[in-house]
Amino acid sequence: MPAPLTLETIRTAPKVLLHDHLDGGLRPATLVELAAANGYDGLPSSDPAELGRWFATAAYSGSLERYLETFTHTVGVMQDRESLIRVASECAQDLAADGVVYAEVRFAPELHVIAGLDLGEVVQAVLDGFAAGTRAAAAAGHRIRVRALVTAMRQAARSREIAELAVRFRDDGVAGFDIAGAEAGFPPTRHLDAFEYLRRENAHFTIHAGEGFGLPSIWEALQWCGADRLGHGVRIVDDISLAFDGSAHLGRLAEYVRDKRIPLEMAPTSNVQTGVAESIAKHPIGILKDLRFRVTVNTDNRLMSGCSMSSEMSGLVEAFDYGWADLQWFTVNAMKSAFLPFFDRLKLIEDVIKPGYAELMQ
């Protein structure tokens, strides 16, 4: 008998997370404590429960720009080495406790230099925090591997410097590079220099594209910049038309994305909050999965969305009636798409993911 699909059983299944923001995943209680310790007085509440609700409400505004504003507070308390270590360590522990076995967590070093840290010190603090969190998780019986993605902000002009950081720390736990921030008006081609540098260095990168903006953003990310993966990429559905008989016609860009197995880092709850999808049930992830795109499930911002990998998967099970085999498919997709050496990916799939789901499907 297969295990019933509940939030609790899904939590025990091995999961892989490729798109999670460090500054979007703080525990509300930690935010309150760090604000007090660091003299940050801008928090809307000093009660953790109330603060958690405030974030969720602010995040449900339906606009990506408004959504991004909530990060002022989290980034505000992450300006010194100790705070960065604590947040990164708790991140690794929280993911591990939720059954995540491999994660790439991203953060923008340039947002954490206000109190005097330099970019390299920010990266080192986060990596040290992941290492500490991984050890603590192992002591609690959860095995996880956490790697970092360094993010450059689209509206800023430091992408080349951040790309160089990704390469400098590539053997110390930085898996790759990303650009994030408001899409409209800030096309990824503004950062071509950084992407060309990364390609010359044989480095990996993903680009937030096709979230707040449509097909041109996805096209630029892939065909001008050379992204390995797409952050969200939800709007690729704009290049797909469905006939009354259920058959689908793919435009050339959608065909390309599917043919090349370009991973789509989708985060259903976050996409609903930013207005990219009307509801989980109407999220394009259902169609894209049916059409066998390389779809992955992600949290994006656990604090703002009040979610976890398990709750995202549970939401999809409810909306699309998915079974364990579907959840395994998402997980294997994500593992195949990780910025991790091939044999490491294979090992996690064969030794951890498949046996984990086999046990649940028995």
Catalytic residues: 211
| Spatial CB neighbours of 127, under 8 Å, sequence gap ≥ 6 | 88, 148, 169, 172, 173, 174
Residue number, 324 or 330, with CB nearest to Zn ion = 330
Residue number, 301 or 314, with CB nearest to Zn ion = 301
Distance CA 305, CA 58 (A): 10
Distance CA 72, CA 274 (A): 17
x/- map, 257-296, Zn ion, by CB under 5 A: ----------------------------------------
Least distance CB 270 / Zn ion (angstroms): 7
Least distance CB 187 / Zn ion (angstroms): 17
Beta bridge partners of 20: 105, 300
Residue number, 5 or 175, with CB nearest to Zn ion = 175
Least distance CB 300 / Zn ion (angstroms): 5
Q: Which residue is nearest to Zn ion (CB)?
A: 300
- DSSP state letter for 111: G
Q: What is the b/e burial string over 75-101, where b = at least 16 CB atoms within 10 angstroms of the residue's CB?
A: bbbbbbbebbbbbbbbbbbbbbbbbbb
x/- map, 161-190, Zn ion, by CB under 5 A: ------------------------------
Residue number, 64 or 360, with CB nearest to Zn ion = 64
3-state secondary structure of 226: coil
Residue number, 35 or 162, with CB nearest to Zn ion = 162
Least distance CB 231 / Zn ion (angstroms): 5
293-352: which residues touch Zn ion (CB under 5 A)? Answer: 300
Q: Dihedral through CA 278, CA 336, CA 175, CA 13, nearest 10?
A: 70
Least distance CB 217 / Zn ion (angstroms): 14
Count of residues touching Zn ion (by CB under 5 A):
1
CB burial of residue 235 (10 Å; 0-12, 13-18, 19+): buried
Nearest partner of 94 among 309, 349, 353, 270, judged by Cα: 309
Distance CA 285, CA 291 (A): 10
Binding residues vs Zn ion (CB under 5 A)? 300
